[in-house]
């Protein structure tokens, strides 16, 4: 790909159209020159009118304006069309306006087709251009409904964090087995225990009536506090001596906490590989440089790393193998594509080289395991797995 091939044709045409139109209007206003502006605003039409044959006919009817002398045509990003003409092109523009008008229902035409004059009606022209540029859409977006639950404010967060320092967290931790499970049920083996806090339950206790999902950054902070509590719980000689392989979800920042560094200094070298540090894909990408530092450290010390992906999409974006993870943990949900669908085929193709390193969590229903087997996955975690009796 040489730079010689580049030309302006690769720049997005509609964006350039908008800029050119804005400039043309401002030029005319600045110089006090008279101009006629004909607008065809698809964005003012009902949705069904904006597309399909009727819209196609309107665009065809507009077409002559693009090659009329003394008239310059512009196409705007939302699809709206604008033509600016010199005063002596008024006949052509008026003729064209009538044609367009006749093609629409009167009340539609009133809203979508009009002729304005510069510089007198500059404000109206600019307002229409502004609308075409999508500000209407921005306003639609901000009609956010007020949340039903209370939003966590900083005072509530601070009090929850105080509560965390004294609360008995053990009741919030869920321990589940991660097992190797083959179709046919042979070779079932326990691989490790997954130990994670249920944030929703922590919040129910410490932030009653609040919805922490409305403030994701606060949720992240609470999880960091929970990480540190859990790390100091594990960093006890008795716990370390008898430690079996354990998967621990952590925030990337928690790896640099005093609690982790202390654990790292007392855990026997041979035990380090029994600790599988789970890092969430979002968290990894929030600070890639910090993650890389954490990864170098964890690898140099002998810990194993597991990438946790909240959705198949996240799993396909972050390349777990290339990013240096030993495992990938996917959480199955009803949103997953069906076991024999094309989407599953697509996902398993992406997971293919890693399928043996993938853990499918949320295996509470047979459908999850069926999906996993289809995708080549053999490691599972979930309520169905809890009832398995592994051979070892």
Partner 1 sequence: MSNSRSSPPNLQVSQTSLQDALRRALRDEGGRAAVRVAPGARPEAQRLVFALLREASDVKGGSLLEITPDDWLLTELPSFEAGKLQALLGKILGEGSVKLLPLPASKNVLAGLLHASRLPQFLEVPAAELVSPLGLDARLDKINLAQIYRRQNIVGIADGRLPRLVFQRLARERSGLQQILGSLAEDRALLRHAEAQIQKRVLEALGDEAARKSLMGGGPIAPLFLDLPPELLPAMSPEANDTSFPAATPALYATLTLHDAISISNLASRREALHQEAWGIAISGLSASALSLVDMDALPADWLILDWSPALEDTQALKALRRVDRARLILDGCNGEAALTWGLSQGIHLFCGPWIEDVVAASRMEHCSEAELCLRSECRARGLATSPSGRLGCHKPLLLEAVLPERSS
Q: Which CB atom, from 178 or from 314, has the smaller least distance to partner 1?
A: 314
In angstroms, give the least distance from the CB of 27 to partner 1.
Answer: 5
Q: Is 374 in the site for partner 1 (CB under 8 A)?
A: no
Of 300-319, which residues contact partner 1 (CB under 8 A)?
Answer: 300-301, 310-314, 316-319
Q: Which CB atom, from 321 or from 391, has the smaller least distance to partner 1?
A: 321
What are the b/e assignments for 300-337, b being 16+ CB within 10 Å?
eeebbbbbbbeebebbeebebeebebbbbbbbbeeebe
In angstroms, give the least distance from the CB of 184 to partner 1.
Answer: 32
216, with CB counted inside 10 A (0-12, 13-18, 19+), is: exposed
In angstroms, give the least distance from the CB of 77 to partner 1.
Answer: 4
If you ran DSSP here, which 8-state letter would residue 331 be given? E
For helices 366-374 and 342-351, the axis angle rounded to 10 degrees is: 60
C-alpha to C-alpha distances, 57 to 51, 102, 106, 144, nearest whole angstrom: 10, 12, 17, 37
Which listed residue (115, 293, 339, 367) binds partner 1 by CB under 8 A?
A: 293
Phi/psi-derived region of residue 105, left when phi > 0, alpha when psi is between -120 and 50, beta in every other case: beta
Q: Is 173 in the site for partner 1 (CB under 8 A)?
A: no
In angstroms, give the least distance from the CB of 388 to partner 1.
Answer: 28
The DSSP code sequence of 215-247 is SHHHHHHHHHHHHHHHHHHH-SHHHHHTPPPEE
* Site mask for partner 1 (CB under 8 A), range 108-127, x = bound: ------------------xx
Task: Select from 44-52, 62-70, 239-247, 351-359 the region that touches partner 1 (CB under 8 A).
Answer: 44-52
If you ran DSSP here, which 8-state letter would residue 133 be given? I
| Structural element, H or E, at residue 180 | strand 173-180
Which pair of structure tokens corresponds to residue 189? Answer: 């083996």
Contact 369, 378 (CB under 8 A): no
Q: Which CB atom, from 72 or from 177, has the smaller least distance to partner 1?
A: 72
Q: Which CB atom, from 112 or from 181, has the smaller least distance to partner 1?
A: 112
In angstroms, give the least distance from the CB of 219 to partner 1.
Answer: 9
Of 330-349, which residues contact partner 1 (CB under 8 A)?
Answer: 335
Q: Which CB atom, from 131 or from 194, has the smaller least distance to partner 1?
A: 131
54, with CB counted inside 10 A (0-12, 13-18, 19+), is: middle
For helices 52-62 and 90-102, the axis angle rounded to 10 degrees is: 170
Q: Is 323 in the site for partner 1 (CB under 8 A)?
A: yes
* Dihedral pair phi/psi, residue 334, rounded to 5°: -60, -20
In angstroms, give the least distance from the CB of 102 to partner 1.
Answer: 24
Which listed residue (32, 60, 106, 141) binds partner 1 by CB under 8 A?
A: 141
C-alpha to C-alpha distances, 121 to 34, 42, 117, 134, 232, nearest whole angstrom: 10, 21, 5, 21, 70
Q: Is 188 in the site for partner 1 (CB under 8 A)?
A: no
In angstroms, give the least distance from the CB of 213 to partner 1.
Answer: 9
Of 53-112, which residues contact partner 1 (CB under 8 A)?
Answer: 76-79
Task: Select from 100-108, 185-193, 289-297, 357-365 the region that touches partner 1 (CB under 8 A).
Answer: 289-297
Q: How many residues of this chain interact with partner 1, rule: CB under 8 A?
A: 100
Of 3-42, which residues contact partner 1 (CB under 8 A)?
Answer: 3, 5-8, 10-12, 14-16, 18-20, 22-24, 26-27, 29-30, 42
| Structural element, H or E, at residue 283 | helix 281-286
Q: Is 154 in the site for partner 1 (CB under 8 A)?
A: yes
Of 222-281, which residues contact partner 1 (CB under 8 A)?
Answer: 224-225, 253, 256-258, 261, 264-265, 281
Compute the distance between CA of residue 21 and CA of residue 23 in angstroms, rounded to an integer.
Answer: 5
The label of the residue with tokens 């996993």 reads: 372
Which listed residue (57, 99, 158, 198) binds partner 1 by CB under 8 A?
A: 158
| Structural element, H or E, at residue 158 | helix 154-166
Of 189-228, which residues contact partner 1 (CB under 8 A)?
Answer: 214-218, 220-221, 224-225
Q: Is 290 in the site for partner 1 (CB under 8 A)?
A: yes
């Amino acid at each position: 790909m040489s730079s010689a091939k580049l030309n302006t044709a690769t720049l997005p045409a509609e964006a350039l159209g908008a800029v050119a139109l804005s400039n043309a209007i401002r030029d005319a206003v600045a110089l006090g020159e008279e101009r006629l502006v004909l607008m065809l605003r698809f964005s003012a039409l009902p949705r069904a009118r904006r597309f399909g044959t009727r819209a196609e006919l309107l665009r065809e009817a507009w077409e002559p304006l693009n090659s009329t002398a003394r008239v310059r045509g512009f196409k705007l990003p939302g699809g709206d069309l604008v033509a600016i003409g010199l005063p002596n092109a008024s006949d052509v523009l008026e003729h064209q306006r009538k044609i367009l008008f006749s093609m629409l229902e009167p009340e539609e035409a009133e809203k979508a087709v009009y002729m304005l004059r510069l510089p007198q009606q500059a404000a109206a022209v600019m307002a229409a251009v502004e609308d075409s540029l999508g500000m209407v859409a921005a306003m639609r977006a901000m009609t956010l409904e007020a949340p039903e639950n209370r939003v966590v404010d900083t005072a509530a967060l601070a009090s929850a964090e105080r509560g965390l320092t004294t609360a008995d967290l053990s009741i919030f931790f869920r321990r589940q087995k991660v097992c190797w499970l083959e179709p046919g049920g042979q070779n079932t083996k326990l691989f490790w225990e997954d130990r994670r806090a249920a944030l929703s339950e922590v919040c129910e206790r410490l932030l009653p009536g609040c919805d922490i999902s409305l403030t994701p950054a606060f949720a992240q902070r609470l999880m960091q506090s929970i990480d540190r509590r859990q790390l100091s719980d594990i960093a006890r000689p008795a716990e370390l001596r008898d430690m079996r392989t354990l998967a621990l979800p952590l925030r990337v920042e928690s790896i640099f906490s005093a609690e982790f560094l202390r654990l790292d200094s007392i855990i026997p070298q041979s035990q380090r590989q029994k600790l599988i540090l789970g890092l969430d894909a979002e968290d990894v990408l929030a600070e890639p440089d910090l993650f890389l530092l954490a990864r170098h450290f964890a690898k140099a010390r002998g810990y194993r790393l597991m990438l946790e992906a909240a959705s198949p999409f996240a799993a396909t974006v972050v390349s777990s193998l290339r990013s240096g993870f030993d495992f990938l943990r996917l959480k199955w949900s009803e949103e997953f594509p069906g076991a024999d669908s094309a989407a599953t085929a697509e996902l398993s193709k992406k997971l293919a080289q890693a399928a043996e390193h993938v853990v499918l969590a949320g295996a509470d229903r047979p459908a999850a395991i069926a999906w996993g087997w289809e995708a080549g996955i053999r490691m599972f975690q979930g309520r169905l797995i809890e009832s398995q009796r592994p051979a070892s």
